Amino acid sequence: MTTQDYRTRSPLRIFLSYFKPHWKLFSLDMGCAILIALVDLAFPLVSRAALYQWLPEKNYRVFFVVMAVVALAFVLRAVLYYIVTYWGHTFGIRVEADIRRDLFHHMQMLGFDFYDRNRTGQLMSRLTTDLFELTELAHHGPEDLTISVITIVGALAVMFTIEWRMALIVMAIIPVFLAVLMLLRGGMSRASVAAKQKTGAINAEIESGLSGIRTVKAFGNETIQQQRFDCANETFKTAKRGFHKEMGRFNATMELFVTLLNVAVIAGGGWLIMGERMNYVDLITFSLYITTFITPVRKLANFAELFSNGFAGLHRFIELMSTEPTIADAPDAVTMEHVRGAVEVKDVSFTYDGAEEVLHHVNLHVAVGETVAVVGPSGGGKSTLCQLIPRFYDVTEGEIDIDGVDVRRLRLTDLRRAVGVVQQDVFLFADTVRENIRYGRPDATDEEVEAAAKRAEIYDDILAMPQGFDTYVGERGTLLSGGQKQRVAIARVFLKDPPILILDEATSALDSVTEAKIQHAFDMLAKGRTTLIIAHRLSTIRGADRILVVQEGCITEQGSHEELLARQGVYARLYHTQNLGEYHHEAGKN
């Protein structure tokens, strides 16, 4: 389904569409539920026949044969409950897995701007807690509703054949109860949505606290973090208070209904017996049917709670699925398999939030194979400019072309395959060193992975690790040093071997010795490739064909190292400031 389908179709239709691939399991679950309801309906009728015929007529043989059959029916009922429990939950889990698959796939299609606005903990809550309750609804919802409806309707039909006046009394109470039930269900649903929103915020706070535990310890702020957690925990304690109040009203109403139903049957039956219009056997039969009502009524109560929780999660799921990706392939997207690497920035302006512009009418041409360094004060727009090339964001005005084609007309897979990015903030997956490098090209052989590690000057470090390339790097690579993480990320790009390179402070975490080691490898990799280097340390970019100075969203200077020094502008001031700092550092050591 498309995002438009999620906007226009009803939630129930969307939910039921996930049943279709697993219709056999669903049919098995529903078939067993129907048989369970029929067994429950049959027992009071058998008991009535025993009291009316077999026992008074002393037909004991038939009585015990029928009791044996009833016992076997209850054994079958137990088997059916096993099937409903096991295979029903299997059905629910498969539905949940399909929904989670589609949701995760859709979330991967959403752009950086979406993740800028949403916290990870909130999104985790939607992928886990919300969908678990959808599983419960998928399994128990139809099953509970089927058993309840068949049992109640069937019991009423039998009651009318026994004593229509008593049946009318029961039938008059049930619609009132169902009306109250639906009214209370609406309150439960609204309360459930509110509770989920609060719980998602709590998950976000916990995720943030655990992810930043090293920063917490570095600043000695355990007490402050504990206070923040305690505040979130207090919110958790009250998050479902409104829902539990609504659920309490519902359960209290249900219990009142069950007891009043028993009172009504005994009172009505007693009145009819006094008038000799009913006998004790029929009253006992009615009482047995009222007893069978208790289970379906409780199932209806369970269904109302499941429906409230499940549909609250379903609405949150639909809300995400109907979110249109801001970065997506154009309908007429073209395939570009052989990218040469010419980059053209034409009158580009950009804003993140639609208000303040980060870039202002930038123009730039980078020839095939040219190495361009981008420098300037922090916050000037250097990284933003480079993030627009692989379409992490779309330009607000103007266009960016690769080999003469607007990047918005290129297939995203082709574009991202053509651009290799090493970012300042390196992210490593909780896996082995080998698999983190192989992420650059998933089909790479072990030999190619090792060759990439050698070119990134990380090979010897990896061999010195406890399990070599199979060493586990920890969550976000915490078991590696900053320089090792950076070089693993660089090895990824060596393995990917793209025609366009973007090095966003790629050597920022490296010491001077290691940086010098891989600078030659970078120079070799850059040959024949278009390379953009964002750098603060100007000593690393002297070999660039051209240097751009980006300041306050504009390119204010460009030229070679010598040309920019001769201008005595921003670049010259940055260069002399850094050299002066290095001079004082060396003087201090001497």
Rounded (5°) CA angle 328-332-333: 55
DSSP reduced 3-state for 78: helix
Task: Label residue 561 by pLDDT band (50, 70, 90).
Answer: confident
Distance CA(383)–CA(390), nearest Å, equals 12
Distance CA(182)–CA(304), nearest Å, equals 8
User: What is the DSSP-derived secondary structure letter of residue 52?
Assistant: I
The residue ranking higher by pLDDT, 466 or 133, is 466
Task: Provide the pLDDT for residue 132.
Answer: 79
User: What is the DSSP-derived secondary structure letter of residue 22?
Assistant: G
Place of tokens 């589609």: 102
The predicted model scores a pTM of 0.72
Residue 431 has pLDDT above 80, yes or no: yes
Task: Label residue 339 by pLDDT band (50, 70, 90).
Answer: confident
Task: Label residue 400 by pLDDT band (50, 70, 90).
Answer: very high
Place of tokens 């793209």: 498
| Residue 259: its H or E element | helix 241-274
502-535 tens-digit pLDDT:
888 766 656 677 666 666 667 766 777 898 988 8
Q: Which amino acid is present at 277?
A: R
Place of tokens 């139809």: 142
Task: Label residue 589 by pLDDT band (50, 70, 90).
Answer: very low
Do the beta carbons of residue 40 and residue 295 sit within 8 Å? yes
Task: Label residue 7 by pLDDT band (50, 70, 90).
Answer: confident
Percent of the chain with pLDDT over 70: 87
Q: What domains, with CATH codes, occur in the chain? A: 3-321 (1.20.1560.10), 343-424+499-589 (3.40.50.300)
Task: Provide the pLDDT for residue 313.
Answer: 80
Strand blocks (E) in 288-367:
343-351, 357-366
Task: Provide the pLDDT for residue 457.
Answer: 80
Distance CA(397)–CA(417), nearest Å, equals 25
Residue 579 has pLDDT above 70, yes or no: no
Instruction: Say how many CA atoms lie within 13 Å of 314 toward its Cβ.
Output: 25
CB neighbour list of residue 506: distance below 8 Å, 6 or more residues apart:
422, 423, 424, 486, 489, 490, 522, 533
Phi first, then psi: what are they for 498, rounded to 5°?
A: -85, 160
Distance CA(159)–CA(164), nearest Å, equals 7
Task: Label residue 590 by pLDDT band (50, 70, 90).
Answer: very low
Percent of the chain with pLDDT over 90: 6
Task: Provide the pLDDT for residue 73.
Answer: 87
Do the beta carbons of residue 316 and residue 272 sit within 8 Å? no
Task: Provide the pLDDT for residue 290.
Answer: 75
Rounded (5°) CA angle 64-68-69: 120
Strand order in the sheet with 371-375: 419-422, 500-504, 530-534, 371-375, 546-551, 554-559
For the record, the structure tokens of 76 come out as 């079958």
Q: How far is CA 211 from the centre of its chain?
A: 18
Pairing state between β 343-351 and 397-402:
antiparallel
Residue 586 has pLDDT above 70, yes or no: no
Task: Provide the pLDDT for residue 171.
Answer: 80
Q: By C-alpha distance, which of 510, 520, 466, 467 is closest to 488?
A: 510
